[in-house]
Structures are given as structure tokens and as C-alpha cells.
Structure 1
Amino acid sequence: MCSITLTSLILSVLYIVHGEVADTDLNDLSEQQNAVKINKCCEPNELMVDSVCRLAEKYNQVVWSPKFKTEDGKDVNVKYFRYVNGVPDCTTTQQRAIFDLGKSEDELHLLSDGRMQHLIHHEHSSDSIKEDPMITNTLGIHEIISIPVAKEPSTYIHNQDKYCMDKILITSSNTTGQYALVCVPEVIINWRDAGFLMKKILNPIFHALAMILFLLVAIIYFVIPTLRDLAGNIITTINVCLIVSQAADLVRIFTEFSNHVSFMITDIILYVSLLAAFFWLNSFGFYIWKTFKSRNVFLRVTDVRKYCYYSSVVWSCVILMTALAVCAHFLLDTGTNPYRKTRTQFSSSILLDDAEQETIGWLGIAIFFTPVAFTILINLFFYITTLKVIKRINIYGRIHYKLKGCFNLFIQLFFIMTTAWLFLLLSWLNFDGLLYAHIVVNLLQAILIFYICIIKQSHVTYLVRKSCCYNEPIPTGEWGDEMIHMNGGNY
């Protein structure tokens, strides 16, 4: 009887224990099925080495072990999680890379629900991290997120399918940390914001209007035969260079689908076109100065040949300075960060208010802009010396009147283009007011050039009315005969 009772008791205990174990297994199975999804950039046995996923064992490294935190920074234990390997699918937005290397201002946390929290500590300095040549060159395929300087740290949370994280190894400095590739959230446009209106609405409109005005000047001086002398050809070339610079600057405004390569190309095109415009302006001043200094204004060399001479000199200098600037950027400009912070007019996201894009370094910019400064000084010399020669001339012929008109046009172009160039330099300073002033001055430059080249020139407006409004043949003897005499009757 006792043996039966003991057996029944043992069976009851075993049944209870087995039931508890079974319930526990069912609960564990349910938790495993509902495990938190973690987006991992590389495969489970890989880590990010510079910019490529590599096997961790080849570099004597352990794979990434995620640590979970709450939104307020406290550690939390997540028992079950599973990896979803691969980069996020950012179909409509840009991808941006974030580096949490300990010393940077960026800090990455995994939340218990699988989202990623990005903290930006603005009091930290990350210049040493961003200037690491391996990060800026090898990892430059994705721009580093940079948040405008503020007193309070900024926090951004990315959903589970809008990021991927992994461990990263920087081989140049043997530094390890966390790497994340995120989809930049789409921006909610505030149409009432003055900065947005100036940088994203008015600035492109002003660039388009400026290009139209420059194009009109170039077409008029190129189409009308009596304006196709040396001065007219130089004015046409200057306006074409300004059109190219406006187009390149317009591309820099819209960077939503751009990358560091396109930004580099637009930088080079912008600076080359500006440099060419000032070189041609300098050749215009040299032509007037040399002609006034010459005892015989009836030069034997035709305008076409002189234009070819000036073209060979100007474009040779432009190509030379461009080659020097590009070589200096890639070979010598290694001590500076090529991901220079650009002004907010070139960014398309609130997360990129001071966008980090690969641009021409400061050494390359100096090589582009130093010749412009020298041309300004040389043009001042041409202005002062030519003005003294004009004051000493007592008797004016038709050619002298024509040259004096070219001289006045040169002086006006010189002051307008120099002022716009100076405002371009000032716009790089960290003041929105200077940037807004540059946007307005950019349009004023086009309006004033159109005014002094077309509207203010009575003979030009006369020729335009004759050719367009009255559909009459363009006269060649009233305004262009002095140029015909200078060229020996050849155009």
C-alpha cells in the first residue's frame, strides 16, 4: 500500500515538473519567433573593414555584439534577437554613413525594439576623426552626417528597416568602433521659413534669370555683324563663361540625388569658368590699354587674328591653373578635411544643414582665386594708366571715340564682376546675411551687365531695333565703319 502511494506521489511530481518545462519551452519558442530584428550591414561572420565587409577571423577581430539601451541611455537586456543582413533600402532618400569611434560627436545606440538611436554631442570635437585619410577617402562614398552646432545634443531615431549597423575597423589607425548606414528622413518643407525661401526658391530663380540675361547679351553680340569685333567677341566670351558658372552653381544648390563626385565636378567647373571670365576681362583691359598706348591705332592685325592670340593665351593659362589646382587638391592638400562644411544653400536636408561633401580643398581654391585677385590688381593698373592717356589726348577721332566707349564698358564690367566676386568670398563665412547678400548681388550682376552692354549702348539698341523690330538690314557704315578701317576692311 505504501509503495503504491509513493509511486503515485513520484508520478505526480514528475508530471508537474514536465508540465512546467513544457510551458517554459513553449514560452521560449514564442519569444524566439518574436525576436527583435537587428539590421546588420555585413554577414554574421563579417565586419566592416574600412569600406568593405570582410571575414572577422582574417583580421583577428570578433564580430559585432549588439548592446541594447533605452532611449534615456540605460542598459537593457534583450534575450532574443536575430540579424537581418544587408544595407537599408533607401529608394526615395539619400544614404548617409555615421561613425561612432569613441572620440566622435556621434553616438549610436540600439533600442530594445530594434530601432537605432543617433545621438550628436555638439560639445565633442570630431575633426581628428573626420580628417582621418582612410575615413575621408576610402569611406567617402557616403557623406558623414553633420548636425548644426547647438548647445543641446540632438537625437534622431531610425526605424528598423531604415538603417544597418556593424562593427568597423579602420586599418590605417587600427581603430574599432560602430558603423551605421542610415536613410536620411525626408524633410518637411516649411514654406514660411526665410532661409528656405532664399536658398531653395529665390536662389535658383535668380540663377535662371541671370543665365537668361547673360545669354541675351552673348547672342546679341554674336549675331549682329558690326558687334563682332574684338571687343564684342570678348564680351560674348565673358558672358558665356558667366553662364557656365551660373549653371554649375545652380547644380550645387540641388544636391538631393548628388554624391561627392558630382560635387567635385561642379566645383571645378564653377571655379574654372569664373577664372576664365576674369582672364578674358583682363585681356579686354590689356587690348584697350595697348591700343591707347600705341602711336598708330590703325593696327594691321585683324580682330580675328587678335582674338585667336588672346584665346590661346587665356585658355592656356586657365588650363594650367586648373591642372595645378586639381593636382594640389589630390597630392598636396592632405592636411585638411576634403569634406569641407559647405553653406546651407547647398544642402537638401535638415540633417545636412552644413553638408559634408567632398569639394575642392582650400589649397585648390587658393590656386583658382589667387590669379583672379592678381587680374583685379592688373586691371586697376590698366584703368589708371589708360585714364591718364585719355586725359592727355586733345583730338579724338572716330576710333578714339570707339575705344573710349570700350574703356568705359571695361571699367563698368570690372567693378561689377569684382563686386560679385567679393560677395562670393564673403558668402563662405558663417553668416546668413552675407549669403543672402550674395544671392541678391548675383542677380544684380546679371542685370547690370545686361544694362551696360545692351540698354546703355545706344548703337546696340539701335541695331537690335533695326534687325528685330523693323526687319531691316543691319547698317554697317554708321556704327561699324571705324572697326572696318581698323581691320583693313575685313571682319
Structure 2
Amino acid sequence: MLQTLLRHTSSRKLLALLLIELATLAVGSVSSTASQRYNPNAVRINKCCERFEVMLDGKCTMAETINATVWVPQFTGRNGEQDVQVEAIRYIIGAPDCGSMQKWPIFHYDKSEDKLILFPDGQLRHLILDPHARDEPEEEWDQLYGASIRTEAPFQYDYQQGQYCLDKALNSNERQPEGMYATVCSPEKAIRWTDSDFMLRKIINPISHGIAMIILLVVAIVYFVLPTLRDLVGNIVTSITVCLIVSQAADLVRIFTEFSNHVSFIIADSFFYISLLGAFFWLNSMGYYIWRTFRARNVFLRVTDGRKYCWYSVYAWGATATMAAIAIFSHFFLDSPGDGSKKNSSIFENQETIGWLGIAVFFTPIAFIIIVNIFFYVTTQRFLNRMSTYGRIHHKLKCNFIMFALIFLIMGTSWLFLILSWLHYDALLYTHIVVNALQAPCILWVCVLRQKHITFLLKKSCCYNEPTQTTDWGDEMTYMNGGDY
């Protein structure tokens, strides 16, 4: 009995000693881990994914599942030294908290223009090299890369800790399978409102869009309110101006990138391209109507304008809807995201724009419409040159023909500079902004201010407070026969 009691007492002491030793080891390991985690000399590195994850095709994926190695930071010295060693590293997991600033994705791979350089103090530098330098030999490329680190490059941005996150990037479809990915906070202080580029892009351009919408709305109201202008050509002009108003509004939405979290870029792009395509289809209807009327033996005006407008509406809106459906289908089902064919001009996360294939489907019909309208203009001009006498109806048709030619010139020029603005040249983009700002005032001058019979009707309706005559030609012929076409 005594021996059994002694054995139980010794076993209890032994168990107590074991528990004390385990607790000591646990406390020691925790303290050592805590001291390592909160080491004041540890360099904080913001990692986009977890420690055991890498970024595959834009998504955080466990490295073991794809037989990949996790990302290990490599530091570069301020003078270009490679593989600089640091005392300790402390990972901060997750995307940066940018607050009101925008998030900007950056990809770094072999011989890319964008370079991500991590300094030993935890600062990240985004270096943008000359895009033509990628064709140089490997030795010259390395010299250029090292020189850009040591000197102040013309395009470089530094991000402090907390303003970025880095990780290893893998891509299963691209030619560059491995690289680095970073999400950075676009610094608000880097953009000053006094800069000429910022003034043109973010201030003058939106203001010109707003003024253009007001001017085009005035033209649409004039042609909709005055009874003598509500013929087929007048209704077509109203439809063209409404389409241009929608395109200007959609383009205005695309300018204000600060609202990217609330507005889908692909919806704004769709409205912009569809409305622009509809405007050109209505312009084509106007040119066909004038060309066909001049070639007809018997010319009658305002007899079946309502029915004709319905026919042209079926053509214009039907063709626009058909081409828009084909373009959107091509974007979602035929434009592969892996072959680089998508436009992807959006710099924001989870924002998609219309791809190049969809834009080609939208703009190819416009190119054909321009060719057909040139044919309408040339053949109609030849017919006018052979005419020796003009009647009252032909006077109005000639006025409409000149208006069609001028609107066609204005819209064609604006469309051409829109395409040129996609090239990576600031001068072409600035020219497009100026041309787009002049488009609406030119249409106002062509459709309203240039034609004296319209200004006469406006004065008679507004200034003299007299009712406008519903006849097609009355006192207005006095102004048209004076040579103002």
C-alpha cells in the first residue's frame, strides 16, 4: 500500500515537471516568434497573397497545387547592387488600403517596359523604360536597366510601405510565364491641376463634352419645334443630334475615371460605340434620300415623309442593333482574353472594356458608310453641275445636300481623329480633344446659323411672337433665293 502511494506521488511529480517544461518551451517559442515578428529591424513587405500562395492568372493560388515556389523578395541597392541581404523580413498580407486613391496594377516580366525594384528599406520603385530598348542586345539592356536605377529616370514612381503589395505572378497563356505583380496606390500629389496634360484631359475635355451636349440639344430642339423643319431631312438631323448627344454623354462617363467603382466601363463603351454607329447610319440614310430624290423624275416633298421616316428608322436602328449585337457577341465569345487581343485600357481592378475585335465590328461599318457617302456626294454633285435651272423644290434639295456634305465632313473628321487618338502620342490625343470640342459648334453653324431661312423662322417665332406658318415655303424662300444655301 505504501509503495503504491509512493509510486503515484512520484508519477504526479514527474507529470508536473513535464508540464512545467512544456510550458517553458511554449513560452520560449512564443517569445522567440514574437520577437522575430516584431523585430524593429525587420523590413516590412506587403504581399498580395498568403505566404504559401502565388498569383496565377490574376488569382491567388496555393503554390503546392501548381508545383510552384513561393515568392522570396529580392532587394536591389540604391546604386544598382543586386541581391542585397537584409536582417529580417516581416510580411504584411493583403492589398494596400488606398483610401480615396486609385489602385493601379503593374506587371513586371523579362524585358518589359515596367520594372519593379524593391529597395532594402522596403520602398518600391516603378520604373518605366524606353519601349524601343527591348530590341537591344542583352548587355546593352542590362546597362540601361542599371543606369536607370542609379539615376533619376524621366518616368519613375516611388511607393512607401503600405502603398503597394507585391507577389509572384504566373500566367498559363502568355509567352512570359513568370514575373512579378504589384498593386500600387496612385499618388494624388503626383497630379497637379495646373499641369497642361491634366487640364486638357480632366478639365477642358469634360467641359467641352458638356458644352457639346447643350449645343446639340439646341439643334435638336430647333428642328423638332419648328413645323416647317419637321420634314424627313429635319427628322433625320434630329436623330443624328440625339445619337451624338448620347455618344458625348457616354464618353464623358469614360473620362471621369474616379467613379470606376460605380460605373461599368463596358456599359459606357457600349453606349458610346452604339450611338456613334447609329449617327453614321442616319447620316447614310440622309445621303441616300437626297441622292435618290435628285435622280427621280418626279420630286414630291412632304407627301409621305412620315412613312419614309419609318422606313429609314427600320434601316438605321435595325442595322445599328444588328451590328451592336454582333460586336458584343464577338467581345464576349470570340475575343480571347489570353491572346492580348482585348483592349484592356482600364487601369482599374475588375474593370473590362470593349476589346479590339468588338471595336473593329463597330467601326468597320462606319468605314463602309463613309465610302458610300462619298459615292452619294460625288454622283449628286455631278447631277447638280449638269442642271441649268432650279425650281423651288430643287432649291431646298440643294440646301439639304450642302448640309449633308458639311455634316458628313465634320463627323468623318471627328471619327478619324478618334481613331488616331488611340495611338500612343499625346499630340494626337490633344488634337482629338480639340476636334471633338469643335464638332458641335460646327454642326450648329451648318444646321441653324448658316441657313438664313431658319434664323428667320426663329426670329419670327421668338422675337416677334408670331405663329409660324405650316406651309413648306413662304417668306423663307426670300432668304433662300438670296444665295444662302
The reply to whether TM is greater than 0.5 is: yes
Residue 168 (1) aligns with residue 166 (2)? no
Cα distance in 2 between the residues matched to 1:81 and 1:300 = 82
Deviation at 1:96, TM superposition (A): 1.9
Tell me: CA distance 1:235–1:151, structure 2 relative to 1, closer, same or farther (3 Å). farther
Q: Deviations over 1:254-296 (max 9, x none)?
A: 3234379833333332222222112111111111122222222
Tell me: CA distance 1:284–1:106, structure 2 relative to 1, closer, same or farther (3 Å). closer
Tell me: CA distance 1:418–1:36, structure 2 relative to 1, closer, same or farther (3 Å). closer
Aligned counterparts, 1:416-435, within 5 A = 416-435=410-429
Deviation at 1:210, TM superposition (A): 1.6
182, 200, 203: which one aligns with 2:202: 200
Q: Deviations over 1:279-330 (max 9, x none)?
A: 1111111111222222222379621111111011111111222233333444
Q: Which residue of 1 aligns with 2:270?
A: 268
Deviation at 1:450, TM superposition (A): 0.5
Tell me: CA distance 1:446–1:111, structure 2 relative to 1, closer, same or farther (3 Å). same
Residue 186 (1) aligns with residue 188 (2)? yes
Q: Which residue of 1 aligns with 2:69?
A: 62
Identical amino acids, percent of aligned pairs: 55
Matched letter for residue 85 of structure 1: I
Deviation at 1:92, TM superposition (A): 1.1
Deviates further, 223-232 or 46-55? 46-55
The alignment partner of 2:369 has SS state of helix
Matched letter for residue 286 of structure 1: Y
The alignment partner of 1:160 has SS state of coil
Indicate conservation of the 8 Å contact 1:234/1:280, yes or no: yes
Matched letter for residue 404 of structure 1: K
Matched letter for residue 166 of structure 2: M
Q: Which residue of 2 aligns with 1:147?
A: none
Deviation at 1:358, TM superposition (A): 5.2
Residue 104 (1) aligns with residue 127 (2)? no
Residue 85 (1) aligns with residue 86 (2)? no
TM-score by length of 1: 0.76
Residue 36 (1) aligns with residue 38 (2)? no
Query: Which runs of 5 or more residues in structure 1 are unaligned?
Result: 1-24, 127-149, 483-491
Cα distance in 1 between the residues matched to 2:425 and 2:106 = 27
- Taking only aligned residues, the RMSD between alpha carbons, in angstroms, comes to 3.6
317, 320, 327: which one aligns with 1:318: 320
Deviates further, 63-72 or 165-174? 165-174
Deviation at 1:215, TM superposition (A): 0.8
Q: Deviations over 1:327-377 (max 9, x none)?
A: 3444444486346486xxx99xxxx9xxxx854444433332232222222
Residue 94 (1) aligns with residue 88 (2)? no
Q: Deviations over 1:130-160 (max 9, x none)?
A: xxxxxxxxxxxxxxxxxxxx99574432211
Deviation at 1:200, TM superposition (A): 2.8
Cα distance in 2 between the residues matched to 1:223 and 1:310 = 21
Cα distance in 2 between the residues matched to 1:431 and 1:84 = 39
Matched letter for residue 312 of structure 2: Y
Q: Which residue of 1 aligns with 2:340?
A: 337
Residue 50 (1) aligns with residue 53 (2)? no
TM-score by length of 2: 0.76
Cα distance in 2 between the residues matched to 1:41 and 1:431 = 33
354, 360, 369: which one aligns with 2:363: 369
Q: Which residue of 2 aligns with 1:159?
A: 160
Cα distance in 2 between the residues matched to 1:367 and 1:315 = 16
Q: With CA pairs under 8 Å and 6+ residues apart, which has the higher RCO, 1 or 2?
A: 1
Aligned counterparts, 1:273-292, within 5 A = 273-292=275-294
Query: Which runs of 5 or more residues in structure 2 are unaligned?
Result: 1-30, 136-150, 477-485
Indicate conservation of the 8 Å contact 1:338/1:358, yes or no: no
Deviates further, 383-392 or 238-247? 383-392
